[in-house]
Amino acid sequence: MQPRFGIRTKLLLSILAILLVSYSTLLYSTTKTLSASVRGEIDKSLEANLKFARSQYFDRSEIVKYALLQSTVSQTLQQKMKERDGGWLSERLAAWHSVLPSLETMVVLDPDRRVLARLDSEERGDQVQVPALVDQALASGRTVVATEILSRDLLCRLGAGDYCAGKGRDSLAVTVAVPVLGPHGDVLGCILTADILNRQPNLPSPMRQIFGSDVEVSITQGGERIASSLPRSSAPASTLDPRVIELLQRGEGYRGAAEIGDRVYETAIEPLLNSKGEFVGSLSVAVSKESFKRIRRESLQNILTSAFLGILGSFALAFMASRTLTGPLRQLTAGVRRVTEGDLEQRVEGTYNDEVGILAEYFNSMSDALRERDRIINAKTADLQELNEQLEKKVVERTGALSTEMQRLEAVLTSMVEGVVVTDRANRVVLFNPAAQRLFELVPFQVVGQSIEQVCTMGGFESLIPRIHELNREIGSSGSKEDLEVKEKRLTCYLCSLADEGGEYAGLVISVRDVTVEQEVDRMKTEFISTVSHELKTPLTSMKGSLQLLLTRGKWLTDTERQLLTVCFRNTQRLIRLIGEILDISGIESGGMLFNFRAVSIGEVSVYAIEEIKSYAMGRDISIVNTIGEHLPQVYGDSDRLIQVLTNLLSNAVKFSPEGRVVTVSAEQDGNYLVVSVADRGTPIKPSERDKLFKKFQQIDNLERGRSQGTGLGLAICKEIVERHHGRIFYTAAKEQGNTFSFTVPVIGEEDGKG
């Protein structure tokens, strides 16, 4: 169970969380800033002290350099150098030493590196193995300052007496070689001085006072520390780390932390190179982190104290503010609780001019609205009860009516001759009437709940399965008709898909009708008509010949007799034509009509057809215009049958056109077919009558002539002939006046060989 907190508690917790987050963020950012500041101060202090230590290290050699340079321009010195006056030179060295007391070794050398004078005035004239900077000074004629490691023997021969007694070792010294040049620039000799650093384990006290105890400046010979600014007791007597020495030997400096004694220092070390550029020692400065850490700790303590006091003060203010803010809300909550308990007379006093006061006003308005609504609801309850009773009565009546309708529907489905199969959206059979049971030869318990595909397979209706799958995708289609033969029965199936309110597939309805007997009766009727037609055609032909002979040779006939014979002759022709149409349709249906397919010119077909109908058209004052050109390709068909089709269409066009109008015959190529059209200017056929076109024994009403005389087989015969040519025949109504009948015939080379 989750704990429940009031607004006051949530407000206090939210303020506390905000304070904690804010002060934590401030503390974190301040700590990061202090750390960065301390780091920056350490780096600046390190660089400043290193710069100062470097200047202190090299400044003394610069003083020696310029002091001696000033003396070397003296002509007296140059003269004494030429005379090799050792006594005078020794005295001069003593005078220089009194000015530069820090120099422990001073010697004057001639160009052959022989000692002319030194501070102790002994061993003159000896040739010594001097450092390379002497050779550089003599060769270049310029002063050379370098830090060199001088051997104990060389120091002894240069006048360092304690080294002659076997004391000391090879030492690191700041050496200065000042050449003495003659008036003409010739080198007369060289003055060599050495400030031995090994004798100064503690740097001068003024330097220690400047750096203080937090900064340590040291000098190493090779990797061993030989001098330090710290007191002897504190200065570490250790060597540098081999990895640091490796960096210094490459001429690179080092920056990093180091522990000196019991304190951690930030150290900067720079290499000292001799006149040949070789590593001989190092100068290092180490800055203690303790003072900076102390400042950082004090700052953090001050910040934490301020933050703690700030949080306490803010929390106290939040506590008092929450009591002031949540008091009216608690009062409002108590009012809401009483309203929920049914006390709609409850009201809350709004004593504040803020959002809480507005909320109290709305609460009072809500109480009034609820009280009024409760009154209305109580008033309407009786009406609702009465309506509910009436509704229940109507539901009972409608349920009874629906049950009756369901019984009627079940009776209709049971008594239907046609089989009806209905499926759900998953194509499972949900309805299977008795007629369907007889046609499928299946009982309901084998079918209901099974898939329609499985039922079709069991009943021998496998040919319907592809069409069923198509209807599953063609939602809302008009359905389709399928003729098939199952178990020696000729069946006609009508399939239609169902859609729900959302337009989704909802199921399938299949109606199956046994047309075996109907087709057999139709076949027998056709055979009977064909037989009767054949029996009638022979005597009618004889009658036509006799009447024609009488009309052509009977000059003795009166006008009345001739008129009566003419009527008989025309009716005989009409009967022969009707019998011919009946024989044609019968032959087509029975497959007895033969076709002679070959290459045919549609232009010639149109000429023959027009010739046959020309006299009939002239009798009705109808003009026939042939626009078929010779550029059209030949078609593949039976010339006589195509003439029959075109003649029939022209006959109809002439028959239903007003007198004095024009009938047009045209043709054009459409892909692999020729489209032949016959257009008249008669009254358009009504849309309701167009479904009768191309059906057997169907006639349409003409507005001008009434129902036409004939069998209604002409267009049906045309349709069968065109379809045997693998074409189609169709009707098009003109936009304003007239009718157009068209049929298609394949171009030669596309459908040849078929038939």
pLDDT of residue 450: 86
Report the chain's C-alpha Rg in angstroms: 66
Q: Which residue has the tokens 């009516």?
A: 401
Percent over 70 (pLDDT), the chain: 82
d(CA 740, CA 682): 10
Whether 328 and 352 have beta carbons less than 8 Å apart is answered as yes
d(CA 650, CA 614): 10
Angle at 753 between CA 751 and CA 755, to 5 degrees: 85
Phi–psi pair at 541, nearest 5 degrees: -65, -40
H/E stretch holding 533 reads helix 516-553
591 pLDDT exceeds 80? no
Angle at 291 between CA 290 and CA 297, to 5 degrees: 85
d(CA 117, CA 107): 6
Alpha helix segments (H runs only) across 149-235: 152-157, 161-164, 205-211
d(CA 119, CA 160): 9
pLDDT of residue 646: 93
Of 107-111, 287-291, 392-396, 605-609, give the lowest mean pLDDT range: 287-291
The neighbour count for residue 586, using CB atoms within 10 Å, is: 21
pLDDT-derived band at 751, boundaries 50, 70, 90:
very low
432 pLDDT exceeds 90? no
pLDDT-derived band at 666, boundaries 50, 70, 90:
very high
Residues with Cβ within 8 Å of 432's Cβ and at least 6 positions away in sequence, in order, are: 420, 421, 440, 442, 444, 447, 448
Mean pLDDT of the chain: 79
545 pLDDT exceeds 50? yes
d(CA 647, CA 643): 6
pLDDT-derived band at 1, boundaries 50, 70, 90:
very low
Residue closest to 510 by CA, chosen among 450, 549, 468, 548: 468
Q: Which amino acid is at 342?
A: G
485-506: per-residue pLDDT in tens?
A: 888 788 888 888 888 877 788 8
Token readout for 219 is: 């000098």
d(CA 271, CA 147): 11
Residues with Cβ within 8 Å of 460's Cβ and at least 6 positions away in sequence, in order, are: 440, 486, 487
pLDDT of residue 182: 86
Q: Exposed, middle or buried: residue 99 (CB in 10 Å: 0-12, 13-18, 19+)?
A: exposed
Q: Which amino acid is at 207?
A: M
pLDDT of residue 692: 79
Phi–psi pair at 638, nearest 5 degrees: -95, 115
Q: Which amino acid is at 538?
A: T
pLDDT of residue 346: 67
pLDDT of residue 125: 62
Q: Which residue has the tokens 């407000």?
A: 11
358-394: per-residue pLDDT in tens?
A: 777 777 778 778 777 877 888 888 788 888 888 888 8
331-352: per-residue pLDDT in tens?
A: 777 777 777 777 766 666 666 6
Residues with Cβ within 8 Å of 100's Cβ and at least 6 positions away in sequence, in order, are: 63, 64, 67, 193
Q: Give me the mean pLDDT over the 11-38 stretch.
A: 78
Sheet of 224-228, strand order: 224-228, 215-221, 279-288, 263-273, 254-260
pLDDT-derived band at 116, boundaries 50, 70, 90:
confident
Residue closest to 587 by CA, chosen among 684, 717, 710, 458: 717
Residue closest to 295 by CA, chosen among 651, 42, 524: 42
Whether 447 and 432 have beta carbons less than 8 Å apart is answered as yes
d(CA 520, CA 507): 34
Most confident of 21-30, 253-262, 420-429, 440-449: 420-429
Q: Which amino acid is at 681?
A: R
Residue closest to 507 by CA, chosen among 518, 499, 515: 499
pLDDT-derived band at 636, boundaries 50, 70, 90:
very high
Q: Which amino acid is at 150?
A: L
pLDDT-derived band at 753, boundaries 50, 70, 90:
very low
pLDDT-derived band at 259, boundaries 50, 70, 90:
low
Phi–psi pair at 109, nearest 5 degrees: -115, 145
CA-to-CA separations, 136 to 70, 110, 596, in angstroms, rounded = 20, 14, 127
pLDDT-derived band at 230, boundaries 50, 70, 90:
low
Q: What is the DSSP letter of 451?
A: B
H/E stretch holding 452 reads helix 452-459
Whether 188 and 82 have beta carbons less than 8 Å apart is answered as yes
Alpha helix segments (H runs only) across 191-289: 205-211, 242-249
Bridge partners (DSSP) listed for residue 513: 492
706 pLDDT exceeds 50? no
User: Strand ranges (DSSP E) for 630-710?
Assistant: 635-637, 662-670, 673-680, 701-702, 706-707
133-180: per-residue pLDDT in tens?
A: 888 888 888 899 988 888 877 878 777 766 776 666 788 888 899 998
Q: Give me the mean pLDDT over the 289-314 stretch.
A: 77
pLDDT-derived band at 203, boundaries 50, 70, 90:
low
Instruction: Count the helices and strands in the chain (H runs, E runs).
Output: 19, 24
707 pLDDT exceeds 50? no
The neighbour count for residue 302, using CB atoms within 10 Å, is: 10
Q: Give me the mean pLDDT over the 192-204 stretch.
A: 73
